[in-house]
Chains A and B, each alone.
Chain A
Amino acid sequence: MISKFSLFVEIGRVVLINYGPLLNKTAIIIDVLDQNRVLVHGPTTGVERQIVNIKWITLTKLTIKVQRGARLASLMTAIKAADLDNKVAQLNLVKKITAASDKAALTDFARFKLRLAKSKVNKKVNNEVRKLVNEANRNSHKKMVAQKAKGHVKKTK
């Protein structure tokens, strides 16, 4: 039977913590204790080895090869071998979070400049869109006129 799921709570699974003081930090599942709890550790992300409720974590598509209950040294070598930190940064989920935190860190003036740049882009896009729409409208109008003329001819036949 083919499973509906593609991500599993398993040893070596990279997870994102989505609640509590460690919000938005990534860690690796080291052990699965029961249906609700896992042991996670993120030595490179500032997550100490600890038990976390599964409701507090989001699974990512990344896994690394570690043994159950792996100690720090072997975990670190596994992380380095997988080049995990770079891979994590490439995740869409993580990208969104970093983008949001970057945006929150903007000063008032930076926010203002961002708005200026946005309006510049929007103006250009809107201009192009308007051009295309106008042309399409003109073409459809021409078509209609032509069809009407045709229909008129047909009726007189």
Chain B
Amino acid sequence: MARLENPSVAKGLKLFSSRAYANRTRTYLAKKNKVAAAKKVATVAPKKEKTFGKVKRVVAAKAPKYAPAIPAEVRAQASKVAPSKVALRKSIVPGTVLIIVAGRFAGKRVVFLKQLTSGLLLITGPFRLNGVPLRRIDQRYVIATSTKVDVSSVKVSEKVTDAYFAAEKKATKKTEDAFFQDEKKQVEKKKISETRVADQKSVDTAILAVLKKDKALTLYLKTKFFLRKGEFPHNLKF
């Protein structure tokens, strides 16, 4: 990667601070690679009608006093930093049994399927065993165990992405009728879409077929993790 120079001014003192230097490098690169294709568009100053006393004349509008040193497009391009891929903990590979540490499913032992593009982990209970559905979770909220389930035969459909889990947007404006019916609506139970049920089922059957061979492992996933007397998580081996 080409870099700009950052000459040293004195012993231990560089011309630019690390942040300023990084910014300059980024703009430099953006310029060099012509990502922004920053062309100097010869802007024709828009004309304006102005009155001088009684006479009306068409006059060119004043150009802005200060022109930015770096074109705006270049700046915009330079400030865009591609989100880096979230590194997965080494101990987590597809099939790893995870212990959920926080939230509604705290203590449940679940199976890791894959990492989504957002960096979140795609997990499943399986739902039939412990009630944890296909779900996303951050790796921070998880303890990775050394136990693994063979999930090579489990195929998660391509449509299960981050967008798949996004909540449906509700209509923000309420009609008058809807406002008064609000209480009724709250009583109604949230329905789970059929596609999700079907996806869950297909994943569950595949995993359960694998788990059928190991009764202890099935029981293991069924039971919750908790700390017993004299057990401290930092002393335990998972």
**Residue positions of A touching B, CB distance < 8 A:** 104-109, 112-113, 116
Tell me how many residues of B have a C-beta within 8 Å of chain A: 15
Complex partner residue of A108 from B216, B219, B225, CB under 8 angstroms: B225
Tell me the smallest distance from the CB of B230 to a CB of chain A, in Å.
11
Q: Are A108 and B223 in contact (CB under 8 A)?
A: no
Contact B235 A108 (CB under 8 A): no
A116-B216, A116-B219 known; A109+B97 contact, CB < 8 A:
yes
Please determine whether A107 and B216 come into contact, CB atoms closer than 8 angstroms: no
B220 within 8 A of A: yes
Looking across the interface, which residue of chain A has its beta carbon closest to that of B97? A109
> A104 and B97 in contact (CB under 8 A), knowing A109-B147, A109-B220, A112-B216?
no
Chain A residues lying within 8 Å of B219, measured Cβ to Cβ, are 112, 116
**A-B pairs, 9 with minimum CB distance:** A109-B147, A108-B238, A108-B145, A107-B146, A112-B220, A113-B216, A107-B237, A109-B220, A105-B237
**B145 in complex: contacting residue of A104, A107, A116, CB < 8 Å:** A107
User: Interface on B for A, CB 8 Å cutoff?
Assistant: 97, 99, 145-147, 216-217, 219-220, 223, 225, 235-238
Residues on A with beta carbons closer than 8 Å to the beta carbon of B216 = 109, 112-113, 116
Measured CB to CB, the nearest residue on chain A to B223 is: A112
Residue of B nearest to A112 (CB): B220
Can you give 27 A-B contacts (C-beta < 8 A)? A104-B235, A105-B237, A106-B237, A107-B145, A107-B146, A107-B147, A107-B237, A107-B238, A108-B145, A108-B146, A108-B225, A108-B236, A108-B238, A109-B97, A109-B145, A109-B146, A109-B147, A109-B216, A109-B217, A109-B220, A112-B219, A112-B220, A112-B223, A113-B216, A113-B220, A116-B216, A116-B219
Chain A positions within 8 Å of B145 at CB level: 107-109
Contact for B99 among A104, A105, A108, A116, CB less than 8 A: A108
A57 to chain B, nearest CB (A): 26
Distance (whole angstroms) from the CB of B144 to the closest CB of chain A? 10
Distance between Cα atoms of A108 and B216 in the complex (Å): 12
A105's closest neighbor in chain B, by CB? B237
Contact A104 B237 (CB under 8 A): yes
Tell me the bound Cα distance from A132 to B180 in angstroms. 70
Q: What chain B residues lie within 8 Å of A108 (beta carbons)? A: 99, 145-147, 225, 236-238
Instruction: Report Cα–Cα, A43/B99, bound state, in Å.
Output: 43
CA distance A72 to B161 in the complex (A): 66
- In the docked arrangement, what's the CA distance between A106 and B223, Å? 18
> In whole Å, how far is B116's beta carbon from the nearest beta carbon of chain A?
25
Q: In the bound complex, what is the Cα–Cα distance between A112 and B238 (angstroms)?
A: 11
Q: Within the complex, what minimum Cβ distance (angstroms) separates B10 from chain A? A: 48
CA–CA, A104 to B146, complex, Å? 15
Q: In whole angstroms, how far apart are the Cα atoms of A85 and B36 in the complex?
A: 74
Bound CA span A106–B228, Å:
15
* Besides A108-B146, A108-B237, A109-B97, 20 new A-B residue pairs in contact (Cβ under 8 A), listed by A number: A104-B237, A105-B237, A106-B237, A107-B145, A107-B147, A107-B237, A108-B99, A108-B145, A108-B147, A108-B236, A108-B238, A109-B145, A109-B146, A109-B216, A109-B217, A109-B220, A112-B220, A112-B223, A113-B220, A116-B219
For B97, the chain A residues whose CB sits under 8 A away are: 109
Residues from chain A with a CB closer than 8 A to the CB of B217 are 109
Cα distance, A109 to B99, chains bound together (Å) = 11
Kindly report which residue of chain A lies nearest to residue B225, judged by CB atoms.
A108
